[in-house]
Amino acid sequence: MLANMISIIEDNWLLLLIGQYPNGPLGGIAATLILSVLGIVLAFPLSVLIALARLSSWKLFNWPATALVYTVRGVPLLMLILWVYFLVPLLIGDSVPGFVTMICTLVIYEGAFLSEIVRAGIIALPKGQMDAARALGHSHFAAMRYIILPQALYNMMPSILSQFVSTIKETTLGYVINVPELTFAASQLNNRLLTKPFEIFAILAIVYFIVCWSLSELSEWLEQRIARQRRGLDTEDGSMTPHLKEAA
């Protein structure tokens, strides 16, 4: 079985890596990673806006944002993909490739989930930060932009990274609307070879595991590092911060 798996990888590594490119659309792991990176990068500004709207005391902003977050959290991603698949061509008036459909869906879905992370990060900051920034003469907006958000986002980096891992896992659903990514490549391979489904899907699982596991570990490492920094035990040059050195 292991020998089979190795020979499948030897014969088809290029298909799993980049799909049928350059003779067809880019696929495989490359497409999966591009999809996830684009998805999360584009979702990020949206998520900050949603988080700010949810924290705002204006009902005009607060209610629609809350409704959006709850709707997205309550509906399966698959259903959202079907909606985008149906609505985006209607709105644009032209058919769009599956790749674009998937990115649009990921932006909405991840935007909602990331906004919860950003919101939690903002809430977790001590209240004094905002008060101090306002006392120093910053407007509410400037305080958010220069004082609150940079700290909140820095603290939330591990969570954002693990949301990125979720995004990678979610791109697999592109398979349902034939987006040429890694899962699609594997099922193509399965349709061609026919006789070795277990080996192929095991390879697929292993590849996803390696990618996601290493990112999860990175996120955990980052979390510990930030927690140490917050306690003041870890600075750029590895020394303690001055006030703690004095205390020690």
Q: Can you give the binding site for another protein, defined by CB under 8 A?
A: 70-71, 73-79, 82-83, 86, 165, 168-170, 172-173, 175-176, 183, 187, 190, 197-202, 204-205, 208-209, 212-213, 216
Please, which residue, 4 or 241, has the CB nearer to another protein? Answer: 4
Residue 181: closest CA among 20, 67, 28 = 28
State the minimum distance, in angstroms, from the CB of residue 153 to another protein: 23
With b for 16 or more beta-carbon neighbours within 10 A and e for fewer, the 123-146 pattern comes to eeeeeeebeebeeeebeeeebbee
Token pair belonging to 113: 């989930």
Do 145 and 153 contact (CB within 8 A), yes or no?
A: no
**Nearer to another protein (CB atom), residue 14 or residue 75:** 75
Identify any residues that bridge with 19 across adjacent strands, giving them in sequence order. 26
Q: How far is the CB of 33 from another protein (least distance, A)?
A: 14
Least separation, in Å, of the C-beta of 208 and another protein?
A: 5
Q: How far is the CB of 154 from another protein (least distance, A)?
A: 24
Q: Which is nearer to another protein, 131 or 220 (CB)?
A: 220
CB of 89 to another protein, least distance (A): 11
Cβ proximity to another protein: between 78 and 142 the closer is 78
**Three-class SS of 117-130:** HHHHHHHHCCHHHH
Specify the residue, 56 or 191, whose C-beta has the smaller distance to another protein: 191
Can you name the residues that pair with 26 across neighbouring β-strands? 19
Whole-number Å distance between alpha carbons of 18 and 30: 5
CB of 238 to another protein, least distance (A): 30
Give the nearer residue to another protein in terms of CB position, either 73 or 145: 73
In angstroms, what is the minimal distance from the CB of 196 to another protein?
9
Q: Omega of the bond prior to 97 within 30 degrees of 0, cis?
A: no
Whole-angstrom distance, CA of residue 5 vs CA of residue 9: 6
Rounded to a whole number of angstroms, the CA Rg of the chain reads 22
Which residue number, 197 or 232, has a Cβ lying nearer to another protein?
197
Q: Crossing angle of helices 157-170/98-124, nearest 10°?
A: 160
